[in-house]
Amino acid sequence: MVSCPRVKIAFQTFGCRLNRAEALDQEARYAAEGHEVVALDDACPPDVIVVRGCSVTAKAERDCRKAIAHLRARFPSARIELTGCLAGASATPSEDAAPQTIPTRTARAYLKVQDGCSCKCAFCIVPSFRGPPRSVPFAQALSRAQAFFDAGYREIVVTGCNLALYRDAGRGLADLLSSLADLPVRVRLSSLEPGVCDAAILDAFAARPNICRFIHLSVQSGSDRILKRMGRPYAIAAVDSFCYAAVERLGPRIALGADIITGFPGETDADFAATRDFISRHPFSNLHVFPYSERPGTAAAAMDGAVPVAVRRTRAKELDAIGAAQRKAFAASFLGRNVEVCIERGNTGWTAEYLKCAFPDTAVKLRRRSLAQGRVIGVEGDSLVAKI
């Protein structure tokens, strides 16, 4: 049997949470093969640099291309491999590979269970790179989760390109969540598409307290007219109903998040006001707001009604301010309450509701990846201070 030579491999990752999750998974796979995962260090240059790119906007792709050119100049002897959502990149690593158990750099384990998307959103180029929906088999997803637990992880983040499209042998995401929650770990969902997720998701949350009370929705707009122009498969009333049901069933500790685009072609002041009102009437504590950016190759790039860039940015800043205020108010509501924190480093980590929390007066160093229980004794902005 011939062994492969040991190779020094570095990673450069751009873009969304899914890209980061895939990069961590790929790091571990290389490490499992006996290679050395290294930093981008001029004193000890890597043999291979894996660049996981992003093409969700034209600017994102330009930034990736510039970074790649810089890496080629900085490390001329290294081989650069492109992957992720970037023209000319290789396909993502096979999902049939064995579950990885090599520790990664994060305190949470990322479990990718789905890739691809069948939606035809006017602003999105991702399906061109990711292809049609496909899911990791149910049993294999559970096996990977068990491997993460055996490796010492106590929080698993379930990720996918369009996670709500998860399907395997008649079972959906709610079924997978319930089975994952049978493990003695904390289970967290990444973002969901509002037009696809349903009440079964809330049933799983309500039945399993170890599913983190955090639901992030890719809403994009609060205006039905703009949602229709975007090609989104829902009306804002359906998202309203889901958010109200989430708070009613899961209580005031449920943390809601949303992705929002401002300045989409044709967005009027009235459309923007509808989005602002939607955000204000729900307890969104985690907003990701993006000024619209034209992406060549998408339907939106050829639409009329372009909104001036300055207006897009002004609207984004206004929503950011609302989101920041709501996040601070949400954090303040935890004063005096008990929380569970996944420790990252320096006795600091994240609660199930995705609030940062520190234990500054703890003499004992808390173990990384462990789940620590504490009572909130102070709030600093949108961060918590707790006592074990």
Phi and psi dihedrals of 254, rounded to 5?
A: -70, 130
**What's residue 254's pLDDT?**
95
For residues 24 and 141, membership in a common domain is answered with no
Q: In the listed set 35, 50, 84, which residue is the last one of a domain according to the structure?
A: 84
For residues 216 and 314, membership in a common domain is answered with yes
The closest of 121, 117, 87 to 300, measured between CA atoms, is 121
The closest of 190, 264, 279 to 227, measured between CA atoms, is 264
The closest of 125, 30, 33 to 86, measured between CA atoms, is 125
Q: In the listed set 315, 332, 349, which residue is the last one of a domain according to the structure?
A: 332
**What's residue 212's pLDDT?**
97
| 184 located within any domain | yes
For residues 283 and 142, membership in a common domain is answered with yes
The closest of 376, 21, 342 to 185, measured between CA atoms, is 342
For residues 153 and 221, membership in a common domain is answered with yes
For residues 346 and 268, membership in a common domain is answered with no
For residues 16 and 127, membership in a common domain is answered with no
For residues 34 and 159, membership in a common domain is answered with no
Domain that holds residue 35: 8-84
**What's residue 232's pLDDT?**
94
Per-residue pLDDT 10s for the chain (388 aa) are 334 567 889 888 887 667 777 777 677 667 667 788 888 888 888 999 988 877 766 677 788 888 888 898 899 889 888 877 765 554 444 333 333 333 345 688 888 899 888 888 999 887 777 788 999 999 999 998 998 888 888 999 999 888 989 999 999 999 999 999 999 999 999 889 887 777 899 999 999 999 999 999 999 999 999 999 999 999 999 999 999 999 999 999 999 999 999 999 999 999 999 999 999 999 999 999 999 988 888 899 999 999 999 999 999 999 999 999 999 999 999 999 999 999 998 899 999 999 999 999 878 889 989 999 999 999 999 999 999 9
**What's residue 201's pLDDT?**
93
Contact 336, 375 (CB under 8 A): yes
Q: How far is CA 130 from CA 18, 134, 184, 314, in A?
A: 12, 10, 32, 32
How many domains is the chain partitioned into structurally?
3
**What's residue 3's pLDDT?**
47
H or E stretch including 126? helix 126-130
Q: In the listed set 84, 99, 120, which residue is the last one of a domain according to the structure?
A: 84
Please write down the long-range contacts of 203-208, taking CB distance under 8 Å and 24 or more positions apart.
Answer: 203/174, 204/174, 204/177, 204/178, 205/177, 205/246, 205/249, 205/250, 206/249, 206/250, 207/178, 208/177, 208/178, 208/181
For residues 263 and 362, membership in a common domain is answered with no
Query: What's this model's pTM, rounded to 2 decimal places?
Result: 0.80
For residues 372 and 357, membership in a common domain is answered with yes
**What's residue 100's pLDDT?**
33
